[in-house]
Chain A
């Protein structure tokens, strides 16, 4: 038999059902793996085997994730366990309550196996903005794993966790999933409760799964989705049986290819892999149609106005009073605020808070914030027009390039922001998006494609992704970690 750590949740659950493996053995295997390889990947921030083993003592008898180790991004609160957003300002913070998604995981028997690294407060696309250490890409440790959920993507890719949770504000699940060769999904805005997710940009954030295959993504979303009266933006409509919609069949489905996402100058290997995937789906009976998202070129600009404005407001709570870091020997209250925040936040957090404060400040509000909110309406409209015309989903590359080198974009924030160019519009519109492996560069770096669906039509994305995955074996390849 293969090592347990290399299996999917689906495979492990059937072994558990047959009683041919015990939850403790899965934990031991995953921790053995993490201990062997995480020194080279650095995907985890906090990991504790004894706590994980303790959780196996009281598992619900019929849990959908009974005994499955799930890694959790460091911005999702777990009661009594360090939750720091990879920031110095939250060092030592142990939340007094758990996020709703954590309660849901535990009630289905999942084991929280560790906390994964991220760009501080989810500000970044490379995991280089962590106050602890950068995470490295399992396929090439000279390269970044993507971000901000880079730790979650890396530990799933490196078999250090069976599945993981991330959060996605502008691509923070899908882009690292793409660069690490795993499946990642941002659900529809309102599909998953954000109660207990430390907020970055409240009109954009969603929690979602990062997994080894499409079936596991459907399984994990089914567990975490649903209405929550503690999150007024969660939506009270039934959660479909996502596993039940995994059909290896796309006959008659209409897939839109937006011409704005295939432009001259794009990475040839990314373009080639995604076009081959389109050909495959066409061969399976999907109808392929060119479509247009005419306001695509404004998405990054709109995003970096709205997301930083919301962040500047959300991060006002970190003031050295209720939790986290406080500067030494403040002269007075103002001095305490300014030095606590100046010393506690990293460079990218300060940059974004200042940009966000600027675009909201008197005299600039109309030119930036209000304007961006109007263009957001146009971007949302673009998607709705396409789905209204009968498209079942839209297919694009997830990231314009494969994983870039560590340090390559760290000194130029704008070039870092542009690495989210294909994922950002999805958050602005509020629709769901899924990234799935669709090939490798000649240097062995994973390439991902993105499927975008209409509001609350995650099932269609799972169906197309499952069909594609059933006819390819990209997801079965594993990085050779030294």
Chain B
């Protein structure tokens, strides 16, 4: 699979990044090389559909060997008591804002006139 310049422009738009024409050309060539390399997953490896996708190392697994680690770590770690705690005060949250007005972040007009 290759990645032509039109596709780079399309994906850059999805990612909300403005690229120069030089960058589009460069990335198109470089991403072509990288995608050619990662394509070995599609060409050389026959993946059985029953293999569970692993989203992170703590994800459960249907393999008995993998399961040891998953069992070690129970779900309870992921939850804490639903108690109200102090949150970041507005002035601190706004301290790094490029532009602000009162207690708000200031942004360009969102709704067209």
Per the bound structure, the CA–CA distance linking A322 and B98 in Å amounts to: 7
Q: Provide the residues of chain A in CB contact with B41, threshold 8 Å.
A: 298, 301-302, 305, 368, 371-372, 375
- Asked if residues A97 and B88 are in contact (CB atoms below 8 Å), the reply is yes
Q: Provide the residues of chain A in CB contact with B107, threshold 8 Å.
A: 321, 333, 336
Per the bound structure, the CA–CA distance linking A331 and B108 in Å amounts to: 8
Q: Provide the residues of chain B in CB contact with A302, threshold 8 Å.
A: 41
A236-B77, A301-B40, A337-B16 in contact; A373/B110 too (CB < 8 A)? no
A350-B17, A350-B19, A430-B58 in contact; A413/B34 too (CB < 8 A)? yes
- Residue-by-residue, is A378-420 near B (CB-CB < 8 Å gives 1, otherwise 0)? 1011001100100000000000000000000000111001000
Q: Provide the residues of chain B in CB contact with A412, threshold 8 Å.
A: 33
- Asked if residues A370 and B56 are in contact (CB atoms below 8 Å), the reply is no
Instruction: Tally chain A residues at the interface, Cβ within 8 Å.
Output: 82
Closest to A301 in B: B38
- A197 interface residue per 8 A CB criterion: no
Q: Provide the residues of chain A in CB contact with B1, threshold 8 Å.
A: 367
- Asked if residues A380 and B15 are in contact (CB atoms below 8 Å), the reply is no
- B51 interface residue per 8 A CB criterion: yes
- Asked if residues B42 and A371 are in contact (CB atoms below 8 Å), the reply is yes
- B80 interface residue per 8 A CB criterion: yes
Query: Which residues of B (75-113) have their CB < 8 Å from a CB of A?
Result: 76-80, 88, 92-93, 95-99, 105, 107-110
Per the bound structure, the CA–CA distance linking A335 and B30 in Å amounts to: 26
Query: Which residues of B (1-43) have their CB < 8 Å from a CB of A?
Result: 1, 3, 7-8, 11-20, 23, 27, 30-31, 33-35, 37-42
Per the bound structure, the CA–CA distance linking A92 and B97 in Å amounts to: 10
- Asked if residues A371 and B47 are in contact (CB atoms below 8 Å), the reply is yes
A234-B77, A301-B41, A304-B34 in contact; A322/B68 too (CB < 8 A)? no
> Which one, A93, A341, A358, A367, contacts B16 given CB within 8 A?
A341
Stretch at the interface among A156-164, A176-184, A225-233, A243-251: A225-233
Per the bound structure, the CA–CA distance linking A354 and B23 in Å amounts to: 11
- Asked if residues A377 and B57 are in contact (CB atoms below 8 Å), the reply is no
Q: Provide the residues of chain B in CB contact with A292, threshold 8 Å.
A: none
Closest to B88 in A: A96
Q: Provide the residues of chain A in CB contact with B72, threshold 8 Å.
A: 235, 237, 455-456
> Which one, B31, B57, B69, B73, contacts A355 given CB within 8 A?
B31
**Closest beta carbon of chain A to B52's beta carbon, Å:** 6
- Asked if residues B23 and A350 are in contact (CB atoms below 8 Å), the reply is yes
- Asked if residues B38 and A322 are in contact (CB atoms below 8 Å), the reply is no
- A38 interface residue per 8 A CB criterion: no
Of the candidates A234, A320, A385, A412, the one having the most CB atoms from chain B within 10 angstroms of its own CB is A320
> Which one, A325, A353, A371, contacts B98 given CB within 8 A?
A325
- Asked if residues B56 and A202 are in contact (CB atoms below 8 Å), the reply is yes
- Asked if residues A373 and B55 are in contact (CB atoms below 8 Å), the reply is yes
- Asked if residues B58 and A233 are in contact (CB atoms below 8 Å), the reply is yes
A190-B58, A358-B3 in contact; A96/B108 too (CB < 8 A)? no
- Asked if residues A203 and B77 are in contact (CB atoms below 8 Å), the reply is no
30 examples of A-B residue contacts, CB within 8 angstroms: A97-B88, A189-B58, A203-B56, A234-B77, A237-B72, A237-B73, A301-B39, A304-B38, A321-B98, A321-B105, A322-B105, A324-B98, A332-B109, A333-B108, A333-B109, A341-B15, A341-B17, A342-B17, A350-B27, A353-B15, A353-B17, A354-B27, A357-B11, A361-B11, A367-B1, A374-B52, A377-B53, A381-B63, A388-B68, A414-B37
Q: Can you add 12 more A-B contacts, CB < 8 Å, to A336-B108, A342-B19, A368-B41?
A: A227-B77, A232-B79, A301-B37, A330-B108, A342-B17, A353-B15, A354-B11, A354-B17, A374-B47, A374-B52, A374-B54, A381-B66
Binding site for A on B (CB under 8 A): 1, 3, 7-8, 11-20, 23, 27, 30-31, 33-35, 37-42, 45, 47, 51-58, 61, 63, 65-66, 68-69, 72-73, 76-80, 88, 92-93, 95-99, 105, 107-110
Lowest 8 CB-CB distances: which A-B pairs, in order?
Answer: A430-B57, A373-B53, A342-B18, A203-B56, A323-B96, A326-B98, A338-B18, A301-B38
